Amino acid sequence: MDSNDARIAAATAAIRRIAGGGAADVRRDAVGAGAIDDLERAVGELTEVIAPASARRRRPPATPARPGVDPELELELFRTTIERAADGVFWLNADGGFDYVNEQACQMLGYSRAELMALRLWDIDPGMSPERYPTHWASYRSPGAATRRFEMAHRHKDGTVFPIEVSSRHIRVGDYEFHLAFTRDISDRKRANDALRLTQFCIDRASIAIFRIDRAGALVSVNDEACRSLGYTREELLQLSVFDVAPGRPRASWDGFLALARARGGVTFASTHRRKDGTTFPIELTVSFIDAAGVEYVFAFARETTLERKAQEERDLLQAQLIQAQKMESIGRLAGGIAHDFNNMLAVILGYTELLQRQLVPGDPIREDIAQIETAAAHSRDITRQLLAFSRKQIAVPRPMDLNALVGSLQRTLARLIGERITLRLEPGDDLWTVEIDPSQVDQILVNLVVNARDAMPDGGQLTLETGNVHIDEDYCRHHAESRPGDYVRVQVSDDGHGMDQTVLAHVFEPFFTTKGVGEGTGLGLATVYGIVKQNNGFINVYSEPGRGTTFRIYLPRWVSGGEVEGAPEEVRPVRGDATILLVEDEALVRQMTWQMLTQLGYQVQAVASPAEALAVCEAGAEPMDLLLTDVVLPAMNGPELRDRVGAHWPGTRALFMSGYTSNVIVHHGVLDRGVHFIQKPFTLLDLSRAVQRALGSA
């Protein structure tokens, strides 16, 4: 076999290998860079051998054909293989035209062979022009020019442009030369690559951390969020394993965890990640498995849940506050339901007790027994008032007050409460601002706080009561949830008792919460204080540590309107006079007791049991009375409605309301309507005297 025979045989073998044997189609996935090289070489070899043979065919042979070599057969094999190749094949000449195109080239571009052979390269290549082509041709003919591989675009017959991959080289056979170009439509590959890049972009920009993990737990790939959340660079993170970033995942349990997760088809659970700086944060972790071509990949998707946990804690807090509010409301309803009847009975007990004591001479042994009855009834009255106070159902009659004067007037009472083993120190602030509050509520606040401090110092100590002016700014409010900016008068009660820990502090204002033994406390004292302070638009803070005492700070808003400021209450003694009072009370015992009290105070009283009877008195043409003293809750008509009806007959008659508990007919948000006079049941003779004088003395 001569050299030409060898070249033909080698080229033919290459073509057959690429074609998959005989006339089989060239497989698309087999024509890689190496296959294209082989095909180019094969075509070149055959061209150099067959082209002269074809030339000789056109003239009589000078010598017989070589035995064993059939150029016509080899040429047919070449043509069949190239025609059936999965890539487009072009022979380009020096003019930019096509000397040859295969069937795939025609299909890719949408032309028939005749149409495509009539075109030039710039008709299908948007980047080529007649002016540029000579330079392009010359660059391929330069000595040493190798096969070129690049991507470009082709234009379809319908005008659409699509990407192609080109492998091209220059071939010279004698005087004949051409560009041999293999082209492949890579639209699908481009779309796949674009989709892959988009997917990778989404992974890298995802707001959750994504990890690919091998079976040993090593981190194989991570996204940007994984690096950001953990504080590592990508290079640093890829040197680590699951066990470095997940402190709750011991290495010994890894295989078992994978087996369990695989059996369940993936798992989602709460876990913790550890940052580069050692801090940890909560996450929700989802572990999934993907099988690709028989290879299993483990993926972990971690979502930080710090904000969610904080939001959940806030929701839990709001839920707890809602439950607390509902509990307060329920107790308030209960308190309101029993307060009216209960206080009516207490009013009778306390009223007759006081009247009876006034009839006994000093030293009478019965006075001691009566005093015990009075003490028990007064204690019951205080419990009812505490129930109403912490549920914010207590009726307040706020007035501009000087707290220094009020506190000073309570000094002796407070000293008796704490006993001799505890020193009481008062530190009144200078030029104290005025506050608007019911003075009886100040008594309740101070008594409850002082009793609480006393119980915290069983071995004695010092109790300090201070007042002062303070301005609350926005910065303070950011650190104290219930506060609001503005000017306040601060009342501070401090002791050096045993103090409280954070667990106790978290519940200190809850009703019925107490650290005292059974029978030693109701758990209403501090809840009462809290309710009164909130009712007066203030706020309260407590500071305490075990063994370091406790400080309560109460902030009441500064009162800035004009008007007379009251100080300590003055003693009022019963007075006699010719004032006339129309008493309306449906409870017979209370009506009789109140009538007796008013009579002893010197007033002329006409008592009736219902609004209808009261209106009958007015309509009978009786002389107008000076005062209408009526219960708020009455059958068929409430107190304010009766006042208006009586006022239509007696325009100058003033009104004083009384009740053990009232709805919003004279009260809004727990505060008595301005211009309304009210006395809370049960009341003493002194309380009644004050209330009547105040009502009669107002314009």
pLDDT at residue 312 in the model: 87
pLDDT at residue 391 in the model: 56
pLDDT at residue 173 in the model: 82
Query: Mean pLDDT: which of 226-240, 370-384, 480-494, 622-636 is highest?
Result: 226-240
Write out pLDDT tens, residues 432-484: 999 998 888 898 899 889 988 998 898 899 999 999 999 998 888 877 777 88
pLDDT at residue 569 in the model: 52
Ranking 36-50, 85-99, 263-277 by mean pLDDT, the lowest is 36-50
Residue 21: pLDDT above 50?
no
Mean pLDDT (whole number) for 39-45: 56
pLDDT at residue 518 in the model: 47
Write out pLDDT tens, residues 292-326: 777 788 899 999 999 988 888 888 878 877 886 67
Residue that wins the pLDDT comparison between 152 and 74: 152
**Residues 532, 440: contact at Cβ < 8 Å?**
no
604: tokens are 């002329």
Residue 189: pLDDT above 50?
yes
Nearest to 172 by CA among 145, 135, 149: 145
What is the chain's mean pLDDT, rounded? 82
**Residues 298, 215: contact at Cβ < 8 Å?**
yes
Q: Which class for 409: exposed (0-12), middle (13-18), buried (19 or more C-beta within 10 A)?
A: middle
Residue 138's region, left for phi above 0, alpha for psi from -120 to 50, else beta, is alpha
Ranking 197-211, 376-390, 439-453, 631-645 by mean pLDDT, the lowest is 376-390
Mean pLDDT (whole number) for 151-160: 94
pLDDT at residue 57 in the model: 44
Write out pLDDT tens, residues 550-577: 999 999 999 887 555 555 555 545 555 5
pLDDT at residue 570 in the model: 54
Write out pLDDT tens, residues 331-349: 667 766 676 677 888 888 9
Q: What percent of the chain has pLDDT over 70?
A: 80
pLDDT at residue 228 in the model: 94
The dihedral over CA atoms of 107, 109, 114, 118, expressed in degrees to the nearest 10, equals -160
Alpha-carbon span 69 to 674, nearest angstrom: 126
Q: What percent of the chain has pLDDT over 90?
A: 38
Write out pLDDT tens, residues 353-411: 888 888 888 888 888 888 889 888 887 877 777 666 655 556 667 889 899 998 988 88
Residue 633: pLDDT above 60?
yes
Looking at residue 579, the DSSP 8-state letter turns out to be -
Kindly provide the b/e burial profile for residues 273-309, where b requires at least 16 CB atoms within 10 angstroms of the residue's own CB. bbeeeeeeebbebbbeeeeeeeeeebbbbbbbbeeee
Alpha-carbon span 508 to 501, nearest angstrom: 10
Positive or negative: CA dihedral 574, 577, 578, 579: negative
**Residues 89, 113: contact at Cβ < 8 Å?**
no
Residue 11: pLDDT above 60?
no
pLDDT at residue 686 in the model: 86
Nearest to 681 by CA among 341, 360, 416, 277: 341
Ranking 80-84, 139-143, 549-553, 584-588 by mean pLDDT, the lowest is 139-143
Residue 165: pLDDT above 90?
yes
Cβ neighbors of 532 (< 8 A, separation 6 or more) are: 389, 394, 441, 444, 445
Q: Give the DSSP letter string of 378-411.
A: HHHHHHHHHHHHHTT-S-B--EEE-HHHHHHHTH
Mean pLDDT (whole number) for 643-647: 93
pLDDT at residue 73 in the model: 80
pLDDT at residue 55 in the model: 44
Write out pLDDT tens, residues 112-141: 999 999 999 999 999 999 999 999 898 888
Write out pLDDT tens, residues 600-619: 999 999 999 999 999 999 99
